[in-house]
Structures are given as structure tokens and as C-alpha cells.
Structure 1
Amino acid sequence: MFSPKPTLTDMPSDVMDVILDKLGFVAILTLRKVCRDLRNYIDDAKPEFDDISKILIDVCAESISLEIGSHHEKTKSTVISYSRHLTGSLVGEKFLEKENFQKIFFEDFKIIFSSLNKFLEEFEIARDKDQGRGVQRSEDTLDGFLKELQIYFSNKKPLNLRKLTLKMRSASQILHVLPYISPKILKEIEIFDPSIGNPLHYGSKPIEMNEIVKTEQWKMARSLKIGQFLVTVPVKNLLHFGKAVAFQSSPHFESFSIHYDDFKDWKSLKDVFGAPQLNQNIQRIGWFFKLSNPENVLTMFYFTTQNTANFCLYNSRLVPSETIVKE
């Protein structure tokens, strides 16, 4: 009598668990796509991935790229592409008939995130850099992607990661992600416009920061970079940092720079802070402010020819004796 040959799914669970322990995350994600039984077994087993240090996601209208980095320096990052096909989807070189590439991506993404057992060093979500006719389609795809991501994040514990990079163009997009990161773990925030070149040339609107700056993640992060963006926070609403209100409460503060497109009324700074204590041919003017720690003062340097204002700690012993240090 003919009996069918045993398959992988016929193996005892302890043997299957040993096999999964020997496989990397890419092999496990591939194995999930072989058949329904293997997919269900892997989803129930919840294998742990302890070698993942960073996850980078690039979204465009027709595809999603997932890059996964390792804690081990000698191990190269792995890139998996999910793309639309006429009659289905491509995952890498594997064709999946009648499947949606975004749906497949999210299934893999959920497996990866639910299996992480260490902090991520870096997590990045970016919209592709295309400046052609596909920009709006990519924006629409990103919006849908972020809404799906928000639904997933809202049912999970805050994500433990140290650096968050968001390459997107609106506050609403940023707020789909930022509030779901653990503020106690997050150290660095980077926000960039994915457009190439000066955003003014591409019609980018200034980003509204009002809700973003209210988040605990923003308040507790130690490092911030914002690039290729115009922000709607008026300069006068940033100048209160010159009074060291925010900086005094942060033991991690070292420096903070503001780069702006234009500030025609820079002479009004004198109305806010009084006469500058440092004036080098009008190219750099500065003020000094007391801190709770008498060993340092807070300086504000305004560079009239470089469109830059810089705040930094300064050793009190190096301040000239005739200098007025403001309260």
C-alpha cells in the first residue's frame, strides 16, 4: 500500500524548533511563504531574532524595500524588496501570484518586530526620493503604509529603539510613528524631507511642529537633527532657549544650532536680550546666560552672514571679567 512521504510539517515540534533555531530571519521569512502549515507553525512558535540592530524601510508607489542590519560588524545588511507585479507580487526574486506586496511586507514586518529580543539601534522609515510624476503616488502609498503601521503599533508596547530617522514631509506622517517609540530608550531623532535639494524649489510646505514638540519622545531625546525642512516655529519662539529654561533641566545638553532660510529682522534680537556682550565686526554677536551649575554659562552666538544661531555651554572661567552674564 502506498504511503505518502513525510514532509517538513510532519516532524515533531521539538525537531521543528531546532530547525528554526538554526535558521536566520531571512530563511524563516522565506519558509513562511512555502505553505499555510509552515506559516501557522512559525507564527505560533514566535522565533526570536537577537542579531538585528537596525531596520530601514523605504516606501514608494510600486515597492517597499526592507533593509535589516546586524549587531555584528562583519555581517552585511540584508535587503528584501517587495514590489508590485502585473498578476501578483515579487518578494526578492520569488513570485507570489495574486498577492499584494504591501500585505506580504506587513506580515514579515510583524514577525520581525514581535520576535526582537534586544533594543534596536536604529529604525528608519523613508519615502523614496523620486521628484517626478510619481511623487504624489508615493506620498499616498506612504500615508496608507503609516496608517497601517500606526494600527499595529497602537496594540503593542512602545518600541525600544535608540535612534529614529523619519524621511517624510508632514507632521501628520511623523505623528503616525513618533508617539509609539519608548521615550525612555529613544536618544536620537532625525527628520528629513526626502526631496532632493532645497525644498522651496519643490513646493514643500513648512512642517508644523506644534504637536510634535509636545510628545514625550521629543522632550526626552538627547540628539535632534532636522534637515531640508522649513519649520513654522517662529524664531522668537525658539529664542527662549537662550534663557536656558530647557537646557538647565537637561544634563545631556552640549550644543544646539538653528539653521534658517532667512531672518531679516535679526537686529530685533537686541530688543529681546539687550546689547550683545560679544560683537566681532557684526558678523558674530553673542550673549551669555547663567545656569544652575556655576561652572558653566549658556552662550548664544548669532552669525549674521551664515544664517545660523548656536547655543552651547561655555566654561565660566573663560568669560571675560567685564562681560555681563544675564540671569
Structure 2
Amino acid sequence: MADDPPLLRLPEITMNHILYFCDYSEIARLRKVCHTLRNHIDLFKPDAHVEEVLLGNGKNAEICFDSDQDSRICIDYEETEGGCTVKCDTFMGRHSLKTISGMNPMDVLIQDFKIYMRHLKTPLKQFQLSEICCDALLQIRKEQPPESQIFPLKVNKLELYGLSPDQILATLPLFDANHLKDLRIGTGINAATDGDGLNDDALFESEQWRNAERICLSHKFKISNVRQITHLKEFEGSMSRMTAADAVFLKNVSFQTLHYRFATFQTFISSPVFKQCCIKVDVDLNSLPLKDIFGPSSFDRYTKSNRWYFHIPDDTNSALRVNVSLNSNFEIARINRRYVVPGEMIIY
């Protein structure tokens, strides 16, 4: 005992307090110091203090951790003859390289990510998942013991890239719907432009979709009904066809509350926290009789769009701006009245 370094001679409560201030990269290095310290870390599992996680990067098997202490560690897994090569880079630019025989890159990635997850206590600000690691994450969830409290993961912002509709539906339950507020679903690097679509009601009825505040969908995926987004603060996405009735609905819902599916939502435009909604449509929106319905529009030469401004009841500081562009974008945004173009009329 007398030959142990001073850190190992400290009381457990003191050592744990010191480890509390270590980030993931420091914890990983400390585990390699000696068996005693490794066993202590594995037993008490100090928080890794990671804020953001990237799992997979395009077609590459990779893990990246960003901590709240401006620390970053990236681990790349590449197949090599007879095994896997692992390269670790830190925010300081240092890197280490080693080869693990008899294991493929994804098995090594799963093994390392399990170690990290044992130290996951603080909710994450962001989690980014690429298709190459989707099955790996699902496998980790499947292999977790029933008493594990790691899943569902507490994440504020979730980004999914390159996943199929089936993978998206399988992956969303891994994330706590009460924490997930920002959802971004994008295509992979080499994804086709015309995808499968998101027409399965299971997605729109999921807790994660209904509890989210901001959703951004790649053009590959399309909503099927404007009522699927009326609970959001922000939405950016596409749909195949928008009717004049849909456009009027999105504008008029600022004056009413509607009952939709399983819950009553205060519609997104009437909410004081609503920011904007932008929908890309496959058909020409300017062919719709919107001028007959909304009244005369002004034409913005810079954005090449027809534009209207509407009064918002009980709000003298804001206005509702509706843009219909020549490239078939329909946008509604709550703006400060001082940004209304001089000379433009606000419709009551």
C-alpha cells in the first residue's frame, strides 16, 4: 500500500470527487494506468461529462465525443488484414494507433461504446447517428441487461443520417421522448434523391415526433398531411402536394385550437414560441388560387416569392409572414413588425 501513488492512497470518496472533474478521454487514459485504478473506475463509473456524441460518419465506423470542457476525442475503426486498426485523435492533435487481431471494426466499436455508456450520466445535448452504426446501436440495446437504466438515452437534439424508414422507427424508441426536442432526419452521403418516404403513421404517432419542438426532414422524406406538424415551434421539410385548403389551414390555425389524433394541440402558429414553418412541395404552388383567398400579394424580387403579412390577434409586436416562392417553397414565419417591408399592408 505504501508503494501506491498518492492518488490510490486517497479515501474512495475523495478519489471519486477528483474523478468527477475528468472527461471521457481522461477517464480512458486513467483506466490504463494500473489494475487498481481501472477496477475502481469500472466499479464507481464516474460521469464522462460528454455533451455531444457522433456514432458513425458517413460510411466510416467512428465514434466522436465532445465534452463540456472543450475536449474532443475521435476514434476511427478500419478493417485491416487479420483484424482491425484503431486510431484515436484528441482535440490536442495527438493520436495513437493500434491493431486488434481477430476482430472486425464494428465489434471493436461496439465494445468501446459499451465502455463509454457505462459512464453516461449527464443528458446529452446532441447525438448524431449514421446508418453504418444503426444496427450496432440496436445490438447494444438488445444486449443490455434488464436492470440497465441507460436506455432510453436522454438526448436534446437527435440527428439521423442515411437510415431507412424501418431503421428510423426502430431507432427512435432508444431515445427518451421527454428529453428529445430537436429531431433532424437526413439522407446519407450517397443517398438517392427519391426515397421511400415517411408515410407510415407509426412515425407521426410516436412519442418522439409528438413531443418534439423542432423537426427538419430531408427532401427524401415527406409528410403526408400538414396537420402532422401543427404542434411544432419549427418545421422544415417536404410534402408531395399542398392544396389551397392546406395553405389556408396553416394560416388560419392561428385563430383556433384543433383536435388531432390522440391529443389536443394549441396550434403552432398561434403559440408565442412558434418561429417558422417551411415546406417544399413537388407541384407549382403559384397555380393555387391563393391571391383570391388571401388577397393581393407583393412580389419580392430578391427571394422571387409572393408575400403576404397578416395581423396576429392579441399581438401588437408581431406579424405573420406567408411566402410562396417560384421554386414551390411555402413558408410561414412569425416576425417582428419592424421587419415588415415599408409600404406593405398587414391584412386583418
* TM-score in same-fold range (> 0.5): yes
**AA aligned opposite 2:250:** F
The DSSP-based 3-state class of the residue aligned with 1:183 is: coil
Whether 1:247 aligns to 2:238 is no
- By relative contact order (CA 8 Å, sep 6+), the higher-ranking structure is 1
1:43 corresponds in structure 2 to 42
The DSSP-based 3-state class of the residue aligned with 2:331 is: strand
The DSSP-based 3-state class of the residue aligned with 1:252 is: coil
Contact 1:29–1:108 at 8 Å: present in 2 too? no
CA distance 1:212–1:287, shift in 2 (3 Å): farther
Cα distance, 1:313 vs structure 2: 1.8
Whether 1:167 aligns to 2:161 is yes
1:119 corresponds in structure 2 to 123
Distance in 2 of aligned mates of 1:199 and 1:266: 28
Whether 1:236 aligns to 2:242 is yes
Cα distance, 1:46 vs structure 2: 1.5
1:258 corresponds in structure 2 to 279
Contact 1:298–1:312 at 8 Å: present in 2 too? yes
Contact 1:33–1:39 at 8 Å: present in 2 too? yes
User: Equivalent of 1:103, from 102, 107, 127?
Assistant: 107
CA distance 1:71–1:217, shift in 2 (3 Å): same
- Which residues in structure 2 correspond to 1:109-148 (within 5 Å)? 109-127=113-131, 141-148=132-139
Give the CA RMSD over aligned residues: 4.2
Contact 1:302–1:310 at 8 Å: present in 2 too? yes
Cα distance, 1:143 vs structure 2: 4.9
Contact 1:206–1:229 at 8 Å: present in 2 too? yes
CA distance 1:91–1:40, shift in 2 (3 Å): farther
Contact 1:285–1:301 at 8 Å: present in 2 too? yes
Unaligned stretches of 5+ residues in structure 1? 1-5, 128-140
Distance in 2 of aligned mates of 1:228 and 1:37: 53
**AA aligned opposite 2:284:** K
Deviates more, 1:251-260 or 1:27-36: 27-36
Cα distance, 1:253 vs structure 2: 0.9
Contact 1:294–1:316 at 8 Å: present in 2 too? no
Q: Which has the higher strand share?
A: 2
The DSSP-based 3-state class of the residue aligned with 1:103 is: helix
1:138 corresponds in structure 2 to none
For each residue in 1:122-163, what CA deviation from the matched residue of structure 2 results, as whole angstroms up to 9, or x when unmatched? 211124xxxxxxxxxxxxx54532432553689634322222
**AA aligned opposite 2:287:** K
Whether 1:308 aligns to 2:329 is yes
Distance in 2 of aligned mates of 1:322 and 1:91: 62
CA distance 1:252–1:89, shift in 2 (3 Å): same
Whether 1:26 aligns to 2:25 is yes
- Which residues in structure 2 correspond to 1:1-327 (within 5 Å)? 18=15, 21=19, 24-26=23-25, 28-29=27-28, 42-50=41-49, 52-58=50-56, 64-73=61-70, 75=71, 77-92=72-87, 93-127=97-131, 141-151=132-142, 156-196=150-190, 199-200=192-193, 204-208=195-199, 210-231=201-222, 233=224, 234-236=240-242, 239=247, 240-244=249-253, 246-248=267-269, 250-260=271-281, 262-264=282-284, 266-268=286-288, 270=290, 274-280=293-299, 284-286=305-307, 293-295=314-316, 296-303=318-325, 305-314=326-335, 325=348
CA distance 1:35–1:106, shift in 2 (3 Å): farther
Distance in 1 of aligned mates of 2:143 and 2:252: 41
Contact 1:248–1:292 at 8 Å: present in 2 too? no
CA distance 1:122–1:143, shift in 2 (3 Å): closer
Unaligned stretches of 5+ residues in structure 2? 88-96, 225-239, 255-266
**AA aligned opposite 1:165:** E
Task: Determine what percentage of the aligned residue pairs are the same residue.
Answer: 21
The number of aligned residues is 295
Cα distance, 1:89 vs structure 2: 2.3
Cα distance, 1:78 vs structure 2: 1.1
